[in-house]
A and B are shown apart, each in its own frame.
Chain A
């Protein structure tokens, strides 16, 4: 058996080494600690709180904890009303809630999934304060006397669905479904739109990404291959819009594209001079998907050009010369030698543009009309009116982006991505 190596102070060498390494690690950690704490507070925690909001059902357990628990244990079916004890604890807890004026909050909460409950709870809250709890009449009768609604087994079966400690109801709605007594069901055709919005957001974002590649590639090539002076001038032209406020750029597209806008006036003027030219002007260029694609392609262009440019800048021009000197045509030299070298830049730009586009809000809201809005516009709307659903949509979007990122990593490889 070999002897354990000791350091000068008599400790085994590997222990000393481990300790020194640990100290270094701690020092490094302390250095990044401010950033780390900042990220946890401003980024990780909000994300988890949104995830939590999408499944949380705390309101129910704050106001009627016992009733909710009994409901969960109750073997609900569509034919028998719940036992008296559920009515009794519901009455007791609703009385407390009504006195604290919290009954309405519960009604609003349930009403998100079961229409009409808001006013039922409001009515109940007004009435229950006048009930005589000791008169021997069964609570069920009291409830039925107030409103037959409370006597229906179906009412309670539905309440049971939405009274679990954590609810999937928001996610069900986020994909145009509904939790019912019989489990998950799709909503009727004429009430589905969120799934469509997801598909549209993904589709348009992908299209915008492709457009920025197609249009940005030559620009990036020019930037990398002309004289420094011209390149600087070009670079300013790329960056100038980048420095302009997003809102201003979007609004200017509106000025350009609307029915009486600059472009359409031009088309109409041309049509007057040469009748067969631009027949049918003014065209609908605004408040549709076309407008979103045009405006967002322009706005996101720098995010594509800059990574491509910085990669192209590092490609040695002698590669192309070498290829040509060995007999390659211009096209072969470009396609077999130059282009593969730029893929890492395209990859970096593409993922930047795509992820930014998926979460875009202002531009679709202003120029998109109804068929151009994105899922984020819906999320923003719901975060005001129905936080749970808004949170579920946001979580879903996050999840989809993560999956796409994973697929992207598999196909293109994230390690291949270069920002310069």
Chain B
């Protein structure tokens, strides 16, 4: 008995020392590639230099939901901060795998004192979600098509006008964004209200049916710039960052952007639920820093995704390597964001399975 007590005492002491020991290493999860590099340059490098913290990066964001489920089941949570799209954040929050965050007390206020919840505004789509960037699914088109007689598509519904703009269009294979555009151009300006009804869904699909012979379904988002470059299609929709690298980074002069009715989507952080207290404290400190006004604006030096805070917009500067002004390439820039659709996550959580089935069936017809 006595032995056990001593043992317990020693063990708890051992735990106590590790518990008070400072956290020196944080594991962050992101998407890899240019996006993760932008996070490293804007957030983790300066923070690590100041605070002596090392960062380990895991490029697992695309499988974050499944992997977090497994980690939660085994009780061994090895990630401290996970970059996910908003829809995944909502799902993780629903499933109790992400920790709720109180924006006003746990995130930085804007420089002028506006509380974080106001600064992020509608973009806090879930109590667990810390918004970071706004990206959009939008269109790029070729400007060297002879049959167009010098016309350029200027509104989203020009996509469906194959008389004025003959040629093939590449679209992403999923229903999200495409159904919105179908509904919008079928004349239902309140896109999500109409998509809740069977008639509205059918109207959106019918709109796409009208140009189905001109559609190419891209296998992935990376395919679309390639199809545009090869001249396989005259227009294509994909993430704005992909089109930015085609136009600005690889300098394709014959491709332009069509920003009208771009579909906004969000990406941001979630903190896994049930982290040990000291790791949670360390990661909350980091995330407060990494999502403040200046840091979000800094990220846009390296990638063409819009900062999620209102107060960051005026601070967006030039691209770090190309030296071009980034503002005109931001989906959130006032000139580009005249007419936008913000993805309705609640709607997609409810109707995803149903609409996916209809969309796939329509594709297979």
Question: In angstroms, how far is the closest chain A Cβ from the Cβ of B85?
Answer: 13
Within 8 A of A (CB), among B310-365: 346, 349-354, 356-358, 360-365
Interface size class of A (residues with CB under 8 A): 35 or more
Q: Given A196-B364, A366-B219, A111–B94 Cβ distance below 8 Å? A: no
Q: Which of A21-29, A185-193, A301-309, A336-344 contacts B (4 or more CB under 8 A)?
A: A185-193
Residue B231 is within 8 A (CB to CB) of chain A in the complex: yes
B232 and A258 within 8 A (CB): yes
Question: In angstroms, how far is the closest chain B Cβ from the Cβ of A243?
Answer: 25
B353 and A386 within 8 A (CB): yes
B96 and A258 within 8 A (CB): no
Interchain CB contact (< 8 A) of B230 among A100, A119, A197, A260: A260
- Residues on the B chain within 8 Å of A129, using CB: none
Closest to A126 in B: B127
B95 and A108 within 8 A (CB): yes
- Residues on the B chain within 8 Å of A192, using CB: 361
Residue A371 is within 8 A (CB to CB) of chain B in the complex: yes
Within 8 A of A (CB), among B254-310: 273
Q: Given A101-B96, A117-B350, A187-B357, A370–B217 Cβ distance below 8 Å? A: yes
How far is it, in angstroms, between the C-alpha of A157 and the C-alpha of B19 when the chains are bound? Answer: 51
Question: In angstroms, how far is the closest chain A Cβ from the Cβ of B317?
Answer: 37
B216 and A369 within 8 A (CB): yes
Question: In angstroms, how far is the closest chain B Cβ from the Cβ of A307?
Answer: 32
Within 8 A of A (CB), among B202-242: 202, 205, 216-217, 219, 230-232
Residue B93 is within 8 A (CB to CB) of chain A in the complex: yes
B219 and A365 within 8 A (CB): yes
Within 8 A of B (CB), among A236-282: 258-260
Within 8 A of B (CB), among A172-227: 187, 190-193, 196-197
How far is it, in angstroms, between the C-alpha of A111 and the C-alpha of B349 when the chains are bound? Answer: 8
Interchain CB contact (< 8 A) of B350 among A118, A191, A193: A118
Within 8 A of B (CB), among A335-384: 365-366, 369-371, 378, 384
How far is it, in angstroms, between the C-alpha of A259 and the C-alpha of B364 when the chains are bound? Answer: 22
Residue A122 is within 8 A (CB to CB) of chain B in the complex: yes
Residue B91 is within 8 A (CB to CB) of chain A in the complex: yes
Interchain CB contact (< 8 A) of B358 among A107, A122, A191: A191
Within 8 A of A (CB), among B77-121: 91, 93-96
A116 and B351 within 8 A (CB): yes
Residue A313 is within 8 A (CB to CB) of chain B in the complex: no
Closest to A255 in B: B230
Residue A385 is within 8 A (CB to CB) of chain B in the complex: yes
Residue A142 is within 8 A (CB to CB) of chain B in the complex: no
Residue A139 is within 8 A (CB to CB) of chain B in the complex: no
- Residues on the B chain within 8 Å of A258, using CB: 230, 232
Interface size class of B (residues with CB under 8 A): 20 to 34
- Residues on the B chain within 8 Å of A196, using CB: 364
B362 and A385 within 8 A (CB): no
B364 and A197 within 8 A (CB): yes
Closest to A97 in B: B96
A108 and B358 within 8 A (CB): no
- Residues on the A chain within 8 Å of B365, using CB: 190, 193
- Residues on the A chain within 8 Å of B231, using CB: 259-260
- Residues on the B chain within 8 Å of A386, using CB: 353
B95 and A287 within 8 A (CB): no
Question: In angstroms, how far is the closest chain A Cβ from the Cβ of B103?
Answer: 17
Question: In angstroms, how far is the closest chain B Cβ from the Cβ of A121?
Answer: 8
B364 and A370 within 8 A (CB): yes
Interface of B is mostly: helix
Within 8 A of A (CB), among B177-219: 202, 205, 216-217, 219
A105 and B351 within 8 A (CB): no
How far is it, in angstroms, between the C-alpha of A190 and the C-alpha of B202 when the chains are bound? Answer: 9
Question: In angstroms, how far is the closest chain B Cβ from the Cβ of A148?
Answer: 17
A385 and B356 within 8 A (CB): yes
- Residues on the A chain within 8 Å of B217, using CB: 287, 369-370
- Residues on the B chain within 8 Å of A385, using CB: 352-353, 356
How far is it, in angstroms, between the C-alpha of A103 and the C-alpha of B96 when the chains are bound? Answer: 9
Interchain CB contact (< 8 A) of A112 among B91, B353, B361: B353
Question: In angstroms, how far is the closest chain B Cβ from the Cβ of A345?
Answer: 36
How far is it, in angstroms, between the C-alpha of A384 and the C-alpha of B64 when the chains are bound? Answer: 11
B361 and A190 within 8 A (CB): yes
How far is it, in angstroms, between the C-alpha of A373 and the C-alpha of B188 when the chains are bound? Answer: 32
- Residues on the B chain within 8 Å of A260, using CB: 230-232
A102 and B96 within 8 A (CB): yes
How far is it, in angstroms, between the C-alpha of A209 and the C-alpha of B360 when the chains are bound? Answer: 27
Closest to A189 in B: B361
Within 8 A of B (CB), among A375-401: 378, 384-386
Residue A104 is within 8 A (CB to CB) of chain B in the complex: yes
How far is it, in angstroms, between the C-alpha of A385 and the C-alpha of B354 when the chains are bound? Answer: 12
Question: In angstroms, how far is the closest chain A Cβ from the Cβ of B62?
Answer: 9
How far is it, in angstroms, between the C-alpha of A115 and the C-alpha of B351 when the chains are bound? Answer: 6
B354 and A115 within 8 A (CB): yes
- Residues on the B chain within 8 Å of A117, using CB: 350
Question: In angstroms, how far is the closest chain A Cβ from the Cβ of B335?
Answer: 33
How far is it, in angstroms, between the C-alpha of A101 and the C-alpha of B95 when the chains are bound? Answer: 6
Q: Given A190-B362, A369-B216, A105–B353 Cβ distance below 8 Å? A: no
- Residues on the A chain within 8 Å of B362, using CB: 190
- Residues on the A chain within 8 Å of B66, using CB: 384
- Residues on the A chain within 8 Å of B364, using CB: 193, 196-197, 370-371
A259 and B354 within 8 A (CB): no
Q: Given A119-B346, A287-B216, A365-B219, A370–B95 Cβ distance below 8 Å? A: no
Question: In angstroms, how far is the closest chain B Cβ from the Cβ of A300?
Answer: 20
B346 and A104 within 8 A (CB): no
- Residues on the A chain within 8 Å of B363, using CB: 193, 370
A104 and B95 within 8 A (CB): yes
A105 and B94 within 8 A (CB): yes
How far is it, in angstroms, between the C-alpha of A259 and the C-alpha of B233 when the chains are bound? Answer: 9
Within 8 A of A (CB), among B11-42: none
Question: In angstroms, how far is the closest chain B Cβ from the Cβ of A348?
Answer: 33
- Residues on the B chain within 8 Å of A103, using CB: 94
Question: In angstroms, how far is the closest chain A Cβ from the Cβ of B108?
Answer: 26
27 A-B residue pairings within 8 Å (CB atoms): A101-B94, A101-B96, A101-B273, A102-B95, A102-B96, A104-B91, A105-B94, A107-B94, A108-B95, A116-B350, A118-B94, A118-B349, A118-B350, A119-B346, A119-B349, A190-B358, A191-B361, A193-B357, A258-B230, A259-B231, A259-B232, A260-B230, A369-B216, A370-B217, A371-B364, A384-B66, A385-B353
| Besides the known contacts A100-B96, A115-B351, A187-B357, 18 further A-B residue pairs in the complex with CB atoms under 8 A apart | A104-B96, A113-B353, A115-B353, A119-B350, A190-B361, A193-B361, A193-B363, A193-B365, A196-B364, A258-B232, A259-B231, A287-B216, A287-B217, A366-B219, A369-B217, A370-B363, A371-B364, A386-B353
Give 4 closest A-B pairs by Cβ, nearest first.
Answer: A104-B94, A101-B96, A193-B361, A193-B364
